[in-house]
Amino acid sequence: MNGAPLPRFPGGFTWGVATSAFQIEGATAEDGRGESIWDVFCRKPGAIRHHQTADVADDHYHRWREDVELMAGLGVGGYRFSLAWPRIQPTGRGPANPAGLDFYERLTDALLARGITPVPTLYHWDLPQPLQEHGGWLARETAARFAEYAGLAAARLADRIPLWITLNEPITVTAYGYALGFHAPGTALMVKALPTAHHQLLGHGLAAAALRAAGARQVAITNNYAPAWPASRTEADREAAHAYDILHNRLFTDPVLLGTYPDLSAFGLPAGLDCVRDGDLAAIAAPVDALGVNYYMPMRLSALPDSTLPFQMEPIPGYPVTAFGWPVVPAALTELLLLLRGRYGAALPPVYITENGCSADDQVTAAGAVGDEDRISYLDGHVRAVHEAMQAGVDVRGYFVWSLMDNFEWTEGFHQRFGLVYVDFTTQRRTPKDSFGWYRDLIAAQHD
């Protein structure tokens, strides 16, 4: 860890933590919640490590008051969470389930009462299962359904929510969910999954309009970004990195900020996506107020000839790795922010780091402590990296640690712990880790 004092951030900078509904709430069958594609996927043999499910997860649906108190103790100014679409619209269409909205309204009001700004994401991967039965994001209709749901959420909450996020990491949905099948809904369509990219983006555009029509003030979209490093100087590896960069970093950002799709010819689509209709790009490119950046690590790519995906991922030697095996490269976050600024220039809105953090093999000692020095070092490095990008002129307005607490890490189940708070999944006891104290002190020092 860097021993130098942490730099000072501008006064209005938001320090926050992030979670998502499916990963923490549990109570999957309570108060009228419908089934989501992740409920179904968790039951698929072999899909999740140790056959774990999120039926209980962190039991946040019942323990949210305690979790808000934890955040108040941390001193955060913002909380990024997600709304479960199947709680608000159990079948993905039709009128709202009032009990679902009540839950998020109580949470919102409790946050505001503690001086914490609620930053909800509308879609963090838990699509209502009935929509999947009509094609999910392969179906254009899902974009319209998403906008309808956005309107229902905003009709209840827009007066109290300053910033909405439409989608979380649509690249992960397209790549892991539909192209490779590691995530729900678990189809392995490869390039045929690409219509899900366009339909999610259209969903973003239509939802943004629905949010604003219902009085929402600011709207953003969040993606995962990773600087793409060629494994060697060869032309082939440079092209591989370029193709990865298009897919991972540009496919979901160029249309929103520039109103155009990047060149997809590396994926055998010289004429682009044929599901795009007149007017779609205008809807997608309606101005956003912020860009959400989730950053964990860079990617190193080499060429993979004669393959639909023309690249393969290579290890990045020479850096520490997290429990997930992800390389820890804070400088790549500065590089990424500068890349975004260079690429989009004046079209880049203010940026929020909407997720950043690491998993570690955390253990509670007999004395009830969790010494997670590696996480502190990870966060310290990345906070400095954000500051460096700001010094170089990138307009970053906030930083949200992933995650407030250990939770259901998708296919890894409860195995990968990302929290500032340790959760014992048998007793649901929450134990702040050392990183919690570190982050609390950082935030307090920024306000001195």
Which residues contact ligand FCB (rule: CB under 6 A)?
Answer: 20, 23, 168-169, 172, 224, 294, 355, 402, 409-410, 418
Q: Least distance from C-beta 332 to ligand FCB, angstroms?
A: 16
Q: Least distance from C-beta 55 to ligand FCB, angstroms?
A: 18
Buried-state track 193-227, b at ≥16 Cβ within 10 A, e below 16? bbbbbbbbbbbbbbbbbbbbebebebbbbbbbbbb
Nearer residue to ligand FCB within complex by CB, 247 or 281: 247
Nearer residue to ligand FCB within complex by CB, 89 or 224: 224
Catalytic, 239? Answer: no
Catalytic, 169? Answer: yes
Q: Least distance from C-beta 20 to ligand FCB, angstroms?
A: 5
Nearer residue to ligand FCB within complex by CB, 266 or 336: 336
Q: Least distance from C-beta 338 to ligand FCB, angstroms?
A: 22
Sign, CA torsion 144/157/12/440: negative
Nearer residue to ligand FCB within complex by CB, 53 or 91: 53
Nearer residue to ligand FCB within complex by CB, 183 or 199: 183
Catalytic residue from among 169, 235, 239, 409: 169
Catalytic residue from among 355, 373, 388, 412: 355
Q: Least distance from C-beta 410 to ligand FCB, angstroms?
A: 6
Indicate which residues carry an active-site annotation.
169, 355
